[in-house]
Amino acid sequence: MTSLGLFIPTNTTIGIAINTTNTPSSLSHLQLLHFPIPPFSNNFTSSGRKKLVLRAQSLGYKSDCDHQLIDLMESEKEVVELNRNLYPNIEPYSTGFLKVSDIHTIYWEQSGNPSGHPVVFLHGGPGGGTTPSNRKFFDPEFYRIILFDQRGSGQSTPHACLEENTTQHLIDDIEKLREHLEIPEWQVFGGSWGSTLALAYSQAHPDKVTGIVLRGIFLVRKKEIDWFYEGGAAAIYPDAWEPFRDLIPENERESFIHAYKKRLNSDDVETQYAAARAWTKWEMMTAHLLPNEENIKRGDDDKFSLAFARIENHYFVNRGFFPSDSFLLDNVDKIRHINTTIVQGRYDVCCPMMSAWDLHKVWPEADFKVVPDAGHSANEPGIAAELVAANERLKNIIKNGL
């Protein structure tokens, strides 16, 4: 009698061992068939499982055990039907400040399970800082959730400071924080600029990273900066673009980021704030597929806007302080082995999908999720659902020791 056994899914295949004899299974009687499927895919439907059985049957393995295979695949379905809802609000169980240089001190916090699997949240901007809602992407019973404000951002001091503020400084800060919290290794989560920093940190310290979740891919390439800050995105948001444009005299418009740099670092505080508000509102008005008034109002907060605009501008003028335009793509081999999910809104105007697509092409092993009805923000329903599910997938991998 032919019998079938289901092997644990690998990254790309399901292995099925088939015993074609009437004797108890032994290695000499087993034939192993490999059937490719997407890794931990939530798209593996009942029709897909049926096709797997039919494929085995087409090779001559017809038996009463077909139903057993389907039952096994139904069990696999239960594993991959993941929670996609944000978790409830929680408060930190510890907070602190870490002096990372003679100039800078960064704010950090921990929430969730003190004995759980560590995950570090890397915020966007740069300059955006963290918010309490950032904790909601993670299961607080499983994860030890670490948030921190990057140099000059949020509660970190000095506020909006550009001195000793580069990507390498931020990478070093992440390591200092990991060591300060006595964490051997952790999961890395980042969106927008946070995806940039997540890639850069993971490529610098791949041995300290257990998994990666990325959203709204930004590689700080010239074409990405030109698209958003030099008039490309104005084709979609001309009404939002004109106030950003009109702050700059016509004779300085050949480079908006350099014109804004001059004003964001002016000796006149009101000039700084006016430039910061215009810069921040431009991004906030384009960050959602549908307008989000609460997000847009952040542009009226002078303290937030100054850090957000000045630090972003500083990094973008310097192209992220990377040695080449394609640096992050060129170094994917260093992290290719790490379980990773890339989440991208189809209609992301701030970080258009071309960058996520370019990353996907050089890193096909990473799980790639395109949200068809979303823009840039992590708080859009479809993107939030995929981010929660990505963390759930990594949680299951860790729990199952895979």
Pairwise CA distance, residues 132 & 149, whole Å: 12
For 6, the 3-state DSSP assignment is strand
Whether 314 sits among the annotated catalytic residues: the reply is no
Pairing label, strands 94-99, 13-19: unpaired
Nearest to residue 192, comparing CAs of 3, 36, 310, 351?
351
Pairwise CA distance, residues 251 & 259, whole Å: 10
Q: Could you check whether the bond before residue 184 is cis, i.e. omega within 30 degrees of 0?
A: no
**Cβ atoms within 10 A of the Cβ of 313, count?**
27
| 81, 42 Cβ separation under 8 angstroms | yes
The number of residues making up the chain comes to 402
Nearest to residue 341, comparing CAs of 189, 218, 124?
189
Active-site choice (139, 149, 173, 348): 348
User: Which residues 6+ apart lie within 8 Å of 196 measured at CB?
Assistant: 167, 190, 218, 219, 220, 320, 328
DSSP track, 352-384: -HHHHHHHHHH-TTSEEEEETT--S-TTSHHHH
Residues forming a β-bridge with 95: 109
Whether 348 sits among the annotated catalytic residues: the reply is yes
Active-site choice (104, 117, 123, 376): 376
Note the maximum CA span of the chain. 88
Whether 246 sits among the annotated catalytic residues: the reply is no
Nearest to residue 369, comparing CAs of 359, 338, 156?
359
Q: What is the residue type of 155? A: Q
User: Which residues 6+ apart lie within 8 Å of 261 measured at CB?
Assistant: 313, 314, 317
Active-site choice (192, 305, 355, 377): 192
Residue numbers annotated as active site: 192, 348, 376
